[in-house]
Amino acid sequence: MGSDAVFRVEGLRKSFGQNEVLGGISFALHSGEVTVLMGANGAGKSTLVKIVSGVYARGAGAMQLAGKTFDPQTPAEAIRAGVVTVHQNINDGVVADLDVATNLTLDRLSGKGASLLFKPRNVRAEARAVADRMGLALDLKARVADLSLADRQMVAIARAMAHQPKVLILDEPTSSLSSAEADRLFALIDRLREQGVAILYISHRMSDIRRLADRIVSMRDGVISGVFDKKPLDYEGAVNAMLGRKIHLDRVVARHSARAAFTAERLQIAPGARPISMTLGIGEVVAITGLVGVGKTALAETLFGVRRPLAGTMHMDGKPYVPKSAREAISAGVFLVAKDRAASGIVGGFNIERNISLPFLKRMSGLGVMKKRAERVVARRQIDELGIVCRSEKDELSALSGGNQQKVMVARWMSQASRLFILDEPFQGVDISARRDIAAKLRASADGRATLIFVTEIDEALETADRILVMSEHTIVGEHRNADIDLDRLLAEVAGGPLHSAA
């Protein structure tokens, strides 16, 4: 195992306006070692990677590569210096319409000093040399678009390694891979480690981390919250440092429901994942927590009809529930507040009133004409009940703060009665006051439906839910009634410990 620090970051800072995203980051990467970087959404990981890879300029601090100052102004400069990044979006690292050989040699073909004459035989010979160094057995003539996701990932990494980098950054490389495909990637990473490459591996998948990590660096709120390199690695400590244990809570009084609104039996949402079975009671608020990438959004979208389960059954009020679309889910009384309100929630050019009524325009119209008074009454009631700060229901969404925009998204789906109300990261990007307003409203209105919230932050689950389920590797690994919870056990489950509850 190498011990030379080939890359160092000292006191790195970055702000966007008044918002400081990185607050003095310091860490080192070592030759022949895999350093795993963990951090919840908003911790600053993406900004850090973009500075290191030359996309953003640093605000303050310094970086060193092989003992020399490293300050790339463009991604091309970073690559030439020996720092190569393979981004989470695989298509950023390959050209899908070109063949494998051209992809593996593309940077040399288009770089400085490239020959003006394209010689296919030379390209294939050079590509074969790159593939052999990486241990890849691929048809060099195959079009990348025709390859499996895993093979495209391998081509992206092999293309990066054609630069013979000193530092390789892999951003969530297994997020779209099956277990078998991930094993192939791990074998390749082992090979690179043996070649002395310093690897920064960004992931929340505990199976990846346990398999690969030589050290773990945890980030929280723009700073390094923990470095773990003592063997055996303290995985639970790394999760603690990432999520934080500052739990200042007004604990809920946990309720129990004997009447089931929704049941899932042996539901499989990803290839190779253990099946999920769960019951959600009427009047009950259930939280599902777990790290980023464990399948929370995939489960939410399956329940909402956006994805189809690979196996298993669902029932609503004792009747089979097999939604083929979000429209069918809504008709069955299943509503979803999606995680990304900008992409799948708010309509910035519409006012509050229309944003709230948008999915229910048919219900609020007669003979094709909107019942404007009904729309206005519903909007005003939701504004009052959720404490949305605005001048009136006619304010455009784009004029509201992020917290108030999120309240409008919750208000939209609470404006009509549902049987199963699903919220995916409803507190993301909102302050504590808005979070508690939303949580209080969810609990106060819970009668008559089952409420299911997906959250990464454990304190959000503890403040809101009657019962907490823990997800890891696309299945349920733990269940807790929200009363005298064993936090150590819960955190161990979040960190990917042994299954405590057969799913």
Q: How confident is the model over 249-283, as pLDDT tens digits?
A: 456 788 888 799 999 999 999 998 999 999 999 99
Residue 69 pLDDT > 70: yes
Hey, which residues does 19 pair with through a beta bridge? 16
Domain assignment of residue 248, yes or no: no
Rounded-to-5 percentages of helix, strand, coil across the chain: 35, 25, 40
Q: Which pLDDT value is given to residue 89?
A: 66
Does 250 map to a domain?
Answer: no
The pLDDT, as a whole number, for residue 16 is 87
pLDDT of residue 251: 61
Of 392, 416, 440, the one marking the end of a domain is: 416
Rounded mean pLDDT, 233-254 = 73
Query: What is the band of 246 on the pLDDT scale with cuts at 50, 70, 90?
Result: very low
Q: Which amino acid is at 278?
A: M
Q: Which residues pair with 228 in a beta bridge?
A: 216
Asked whether the predicted pLDDT for residue 70 surpasses 70, the reply is yes
Residues 311 and 356 grouped into a single domain: no
More confident residue, 413 or 346: 413
Question: How many domains are contained in the chain?
Answer: 3
Distance CA(228)–CA(240), nearest Å, equals: 12
Q: Which of the listed residues 400, 416, 432 is the one where a domain comes to its end?
A: 416
Q: Which residues pair with 8 in a beta bridge?
A: 28, 64
Quick check: 193 and 33 in contact, CB under 8 A? Answer: yes
Per-residue confidence band for 60, with pLDDT thresholds at 50, 70 and 90: very high
User: Which of 95-99, 103-107, 208-212, 349-353 has maximum average pLDDT?
Assistant: 208-212
Helices marked H in 362-496 — which ranges?
Answer: 372-386, 402-414, 432-444, 458-464, 487-494
Do 61 and 163 fall into the same domain?
yes
| Mean pLDDT of the 295-306 span | 94
Q: What is the pLDDT of residue 249?
A: 46
Average pLDDT over residues 391-406: 80
| Whole-angstrom distance, CA of residue 477 vs CA of residue 493 | 7
Do 410 and 422 lie in one domain? The reply is no
Question: Which of 177, 178, 182, 243 is CA-nearest to residue 212?
Answer: 182
Say whether both 215 and 100 belong to one domain.
Answer: yes
Indicate the DSSP class of residue 90.
G
Question: Does residue 207 belong to any structural domain of this protein?
Answer: yes
Residue 442 belongs to a domain: yes
Q: What is the DSSP letter of 456?
A: S
Is residue 340 one of the residues assigned to a domain? Answer: no
Burial of 287: CB neighbours in 10 Å, binned 0-12, 13-18, 19+:
buried
- Of the three residues 211, 243, 275, the one that is the final residue of a domain is 243
Query: What pLDDT does 50 receive?
Result: 92
* Domain contains 146: yes
Distance CA 420, CA 323 (A): 13
Each residue's pLDDT tens digit, 365-398? 655 555 678 788 888 888 888 888 888 888 887 7
d(CA 463, CA 440): 9
Q: Which residue has the higher pLDDT, 302 or 156?
A: 302
Q: How far apart are CA 15 and CA 126, in angstroms?
A: 43
Residues 269, 388, single domain; the answer is: no
| pLDDT for the residue numbered 120 | 65
Q: What is the band of 123 on the pLDDT scale with cuts at 50, 70, 90?
A: confident
The confidence score (pLDDT) of residue 23 equals 94
The domain containing residue 314 runs over which residues?
259-333+417-503
Higher pLDDT, 71 or 243: 71
pLDDT at 117: 43
Residues 429 and 299 in one domain: yes
Strand (E) or helix (H) holding 180: helix 179-194
Selected residue with higher pLDDT from 490 and 215: 215
Report which DSSP code applies to 153. Answer: H
Indicate whether 359 and 462 sit together in one domain: no
The answer to whether residue 249 sits within a structural domain is: no
Least-confidence region, from 45-59, 203-217, 274-288: 203-217
pLDDT band at residue 136 using 50, 70 and 90 as cut-offs: confident
Query: Is the predicted pLDDT of residue 115 greater than 60, yes or no?
Result: no
DSSP letter for each residue of 458-481: HHHHHHH-SEEEEEETTEEEEEEE
Spell out the alpha helix ranges (H) of 304-351. 326-331, 341-344
Residue of 2 and 301 predicted with greater confidence: 301
pLDDT digits (tens, 9 = 90+) for 412-459: 888 888 999 999 988 876 766 677 788 888 999 999 999 999 998 788
Residues sharing a CB contact under 8 Å with residue 125, sequence separation 6 or more, in sequence order: none
Tokens of 342: 């900008």
Q: How many CA atoms lie within 13 A of 90 on its CB side?
A: 21
Same domain, 85 and 161: yes
Tell me: do 216 and 142 sit in the same domain: yes
pLDDT in the model for residue 499: 46
What local confidence, expressed as pLDDT, does residue 24 receive?
A: 95
Yes or no: say if 465 and 287 are a contact pair by the CB < 8 Å rule. Answer: yes
Whether residues 214 and 325 fall in one domain: no
DSSP string, 213-272: -SEEEEEETTEEEEEE-SSSP-HHHHHHHHH--------------SSEEEEEEEEE-STT
SS3 69: strand
Nearest Cα to Cα of residue 420 among 326, 329, 302, 319: 329
d(CA 52, CA 86): 12
C-alpha–C-alpha distance, residues 402 and 489, integer Å: 34
Do residues 196 and 2 make contact, with C-beta atoms less than 8 angstroms apart?
yes
Report yes or no: 311 and 289 within 8 Å, Cβ to Cβ.
no
Q: What pLDDT, on the 0 to 100 scale, is given for residue 247?
A: 46
Cα dist. 103→159, 176, 274 in Å? 7, 21, 36
What integer best gives the mean pLDDT of the chain?
84
- Residues 30-42: what's their mean pLDDT? 88
- For 447-496, the pLDDT digits (tens) are 999 999 999 878 889 889 999 999 999 999 999 999 878 887 888 888 87
Residues 361 and 371 in one domain: yes
| pLDDT recorded at residue 250 | 53
pLDDT on residue 179: 66
Residue type at position 94: V
The reply to whether 253 falls in a domain is no
Q: 286: domain CATH number? A: 3.40.50.300
Query: Where residue 214 falls among pLDDT bands split at 50, 70, 90?
Result: very high
- Whether the model clears a pTM of 0.75, i.e. scores above it, the answer is no
State the CB neighbour count (10 A cutoff) for residue 68: 8
Q: 264 and 231, same structural domain?
A: no
The residues, any chain, with a CB within 8 Å of residue 452's CB and separated by 6 or more, are 280, 286, 287, 288, 300, 303, 420, 421, 422, 423
In this predicted structure, what is the pLDDT of residue 175? 65
Give the pLDDT score at 188.
Answer: 84
